[in-house]
Structure 1
Amino acid sequence: MVDWGPAFVVVVLFVLLSSGLIFQIPGKSRVVEFGNLQTSSTAILVHSIVYFGLIAIFVLAAGVPMYVGS
């Protein structure tokens, strides 16, 4: 049986942390811009680091169960 918990967490965080979709850190004119649908290489790097940190916390440290079976 396969547990879909980690996959669900990864997909939701990817959508929420897509640079420029909901917010962008750092923005082009301010530190945080909301809903501008634009991005920069710095924002992509920051969002990638935040995404990795949250995945590590939710999937590894929080113990989201991962079942692998046939």
Structure 2
Amino acid sequence: MSPSTDWGPIVVAVILFILLSPGLLFQLPAHHRVIEFGNMGTSGISILVHAILFFCILTILVVAIGIHIHAA
């Protein structure tokens, strides 16, 4: 029997990468406000904030909660 592959972290990372792209759904911090929605813009600090959010949420979902998707 071959070992099954755990696709959970990969699926969660891809979904979070898409959703937390700066400017797609929201940008934190924005150019003129603290948060703007759907402005499709970005800045260096915004990329840093979104990267930290990505890492924190990914760590919580994969390590603390333990999301696993096993493929045969």
User: Please, what TM-score do these two structures have when normalized by structure 2?
Assistant: 0.86
For residues 9-61 of structure 1, the C-alpha deviation after alignment (integer angstroms, 9 at most, x for no partner) is 11000000001111000000011101111100010010000000001100011
In proportion to residue count, which structure has more strand?
2
**Runs of 4+ with >2 A deviation:** none
Question: Match of 1:52?
Answer: 55
Unaligned runs of 5+ in 1: none
Unaligned runs of 5+ in 2: none
Q: 2:22 aligns with which of 19, 23, 26?
A: 19
The total of aligned residue pairs comes to: 68
Question: Match of 1:33?
Answer: 36
* Greater radius of gyration (CA): 2
Hey, what's the Cα distance between the residues in 2 that align with 1:51 and 1:3?
20
CA RMSD of aligned residues (A): 1.7
Identity of aligned residues (%): 51
User: Please, what TM-score do these two structures have when normalized by structure 1?
Assistant: 0.88
Q: Are 2:19 and 1:5 equivalent residues in the alignment?
A: no
